Amino acid sequence: MKKIYTLVIGLLVTGMSFAQQSFILSHIDHRGFVNFSGGTSIPVKSLMKADPSASSEISALRGSSMQVSAGYRLTRRIGIMGSFTNCLNQTSTLKLVESIQKSHPGGTWASSGGTWNCSHFLAGPYMTFKAGIWMFDARVTGGYSWIQRPYTELKGTFFDVPLTIKTAQSRNGSFSVGSGASVRCKITRNFALAVHADYVSTKASFNDITSTLTIGKDKGDEKISEVHPIGLLSIGGGLSLLF
């Protein structure tokens, strides 16, 4: 019986201590934050339109993301913030194989590709709401993105003749828009656990990409252009420094 009483008293003391700490943390006013997080990067539909004259048959798969962000509240609800997000996504080359199988039936084909490397610097206003130790942010942003199109390789045989098409990687920048939301839970006076979801949309144009065609022992280079509407949703969690 004493063990039960001891357990009940311990739970009550712990609950009172947690309630007291939550009460103290909820009354500390922080105007700024610096957030470090990691998570997943999911390709979604872009707000930008494709260019039919410079289409592409490669796309991005789900990958990983890393984000560093900072913000400062100017009024009770409104503040400004900036973020740097890097997303690494594997490449889907399935359509390359499907396309050449339609144009050259009877061959045996295999494809491979590198990694999409997308970096985004965004800034804009945000609105924040507070409920005890919880903080909720919503934002609209704009900025600039650096997109690295991965290399691709398509190889196979056509009538017993080996054929390879290699396309070099290329990098270019473009303006981008985005939006996002965050939820933070204070755990100490100056730190909070945070989760976020951010969407970014941009359109990357790549000109003079080198595509090398090798048929048997013959080789030739060609310059091609591609336009990629890009939409990425990054979802992650991490730690916030509050000040």
Query: Measuring CA to CA, how many Å separate 88 from each of 42, 95, 102, 147?
Result: 10, 20, 31, 10
Report pLDDT for 11. Answer: 42
Average pLDDT over residues 52-58: 83
Phi, psi of 95 (to 5 degrees): -70, -25
pLDDT-derived band of residue 158, with 50, 70 and 90 as boundaries? confident
Task: Give the total residue count for the chain.
Answer: 243
Give which of 111, 172, 121 is closest to 142, Cα–Cα.
Answer: 121
Beta bridge partners of 220: 213
CA–CA dist 150, 169 (Å, integer): 5
Q: Who wins on pLDDT, 14 or 106?
A: 106
Q: Please give the single-letter amino acid code of residue 53.
A: S
The secondary element (H helix, E strand) that includes residue 237 is strand 218-242
Provide the phi-psi class of 106: left if phi over 0, else alpha when psi is between -120 and 50, else beta.
left
- Do residues 125 and 72 touch, judged by C-beta distance below 8 A? no
pLDDT-derived band of residue 13, with 50, 70 and 90 as boundaries? very low
Alpha-helix runs per DSSP H in the chain: 2-26, 94-103
- Do residues 87 and 65 touch, judged by C-beta distance below 8 A? yes
Report pLDDT for 29. Answer: 82
Among the residue ranges 9-13, 73-77, 207-211, the one predicted with the least confidence is: 9-13
Q: What is the pLDDT of residues 21-38, one digit of tens each?
A: 555 666 588 899 999 999
Q: Who wins on pLDDT, 9 or 151?
A: 151
Among the residue ranges 39-43, 103-107, 167-171, the one predicted with the least confidence is: 103-107
- Do residues 91 and 53 touch, judged by C-beta distance below 8 A? no
- Please give the mean pLDDT across all residues of the chain: 90
pLDDT-derived band of residue 103, with 50, 70 and 90 as boundaries? confident
- Do residues 81 and 70 touch, judged by C-beta distance below 8 A? yes
Output the pTM of the full model. Answer: 0.86
Is the pLDDT reported for residue 77 higher than 70? yes
How many helices and strands (H and E) does the chain possess?
Answer: 2, 11
Give which of 196, 204, 184 is closest to 83, Cα–Cα.
Answer: 196
